[in-house]
């Protein structure tokens, strides 16, 4: 009887150290952090139309730039990545490219403000720019947190003893991190001569 209890206790200790609980916990954390990334993008996509509508009412001369922002936002919301697709770098790249279109159109909006300083004096436009900055900061934080969770998960499923349980019980595969756009490492060129 003591031998069976000792064997059961030893088996429980071995299983506890093999990622039985830690691997799914880490995977759920990755999924939660990805949901935070999607939430941050959705918040930006939900906020921009209301702010743009306010600005449009007072800035008719910049209608094309604001329309471009809205169109980019519509394209970005058409591409979704769910938690089951996090192992597909191509799907993440497609999602990121759509979001980059929003960022690019927002960049043109900022350039327009530089070209027309009188637009900056309008309170509605200041509110739009401030809100865009806050939303982009939220997105960056969510991306960083997601990548941290991916790193922790990928490390867990590749290191002993959790790697044993990850492979045997879950067939765990590494998750893809969120990556910067191509060329993001280069400094932007600022030209005040135009």
Q: Using one digit for the tens of pLDDT, what is the confidence trace for 21-30? A: 788 888 888 8
In the block, tokens 């865009």 appear at 132
Structural domain contains residue 6: no
Structural domain contains residue 9: no
Q: First CA to last CA across the chain, in angstroms?
A: 87
Number of domains in the chain: 1
Structural domain contains residue 18: no
In the block, tokens 């299983």 appear at 15
Structural domain contains residue 96: yes
Residue 94's φ and ψ, nearest 5 degrees, are -65, -45
Structural domain contains residue 184: no
Question: What share of the chain has pLDDT > 70, as a percent?
Answer: 72
The residue among 72 and 19 whose pLDDT is bigger is: 72
Taking a C-beta distance cutoff of 8 angstroms, is the pair 153, 27 a contact?
yes
- Which of the given ranges, 3-12, 98-107, 119-128, 183-192, has the highest pLDDT on average? 98-107
CA dihedral 78, 67, 115, 98 (to 10 degrees): 10
Q: What is the mean predicted confidence (pLDDT) over 30-49?
A: 84
Q: In the structure, what pLDDT confidence band is assigned to residue 192 with cuts at 50, 70 and 90?
A: very low
112: tokens are 């327009």
Q: What's the distance, CA 171 to chain centroid?
A: 25
User: What is the three-state SS of 29-98?
Assistant: HHHHHHHHHHHHHHHHHHHHHHHHHHHHHHCHHHHHHHHHHHHHHHHHHHCCCCHHHCCCHHHHHHHHHH
Residue 100's nearest CA partner among 108, 128, 65, 176 is: 108
The residue among 34 and 128 whose pLDDT is bigger is: 34
pTM summary value? 0.59
Structural domain contains residue 8: no
Q: How far apart are CA 178 and CA 84, in angstroms?
A: 15
Compute the mean pLDDT over every residue in the chain, rounded to the nearest whole number: 76
Taking a C-beta distance cutoff of 8 angstroms, is the pair 144, 24 a contact?
no
Write down the pLDDT at residue 85.
79
Structural domain contains residue 94: yes
Q: Which of 25-39, 92-106, 132-146 has the lowest mean pLDDT?
A: 92-106
Structural domain contains residue 104: yes
The residue among 68 and 115 whose pLDDT is bigger is: 68
For residue 140, what are the domain limits? Answer: 32-170
């Amino acid at each position: 009887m003591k031998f069976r209890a000792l064997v059961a206790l030893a088996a429980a200790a071995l299983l506890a150290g093999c990622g039985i609980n830690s691997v799914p916990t880490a995977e759920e954390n990755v999924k939660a952090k990805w949901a935070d990334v999607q939430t941050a993008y959705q918040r930006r996509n939900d906020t921009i139309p209301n702010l743009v509508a306010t600005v449009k009412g007072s800035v008719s001369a910049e209608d094309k730039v604001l329309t471009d922002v809205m169109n980019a936002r519509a394209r970005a919301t058409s591409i979704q990545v769910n938690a089951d697709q996090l192992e597909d770098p191509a799907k993440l790249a497609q999602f990121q490219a759509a979001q980059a279109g929003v960022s690019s159109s927002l960049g043109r909006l900022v350039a327009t403000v530089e070209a027309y300083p009188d637009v900056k004096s309008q309170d509605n436009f200041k509110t739009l720019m401030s809100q865009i900055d806050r939303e982009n900061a939220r997105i960056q934080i969510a991306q960083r947190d997601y990548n941290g969770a991916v790193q922790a998960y990928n490390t867990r499923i590749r290191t002993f003893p959790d790697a044993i349980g990850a492979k045997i019980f879950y067939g765990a595969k590494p998750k893809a991190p969120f990556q910067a756009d191509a060329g993001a490492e280069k400094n932007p060129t600022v030209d005040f001569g135009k």
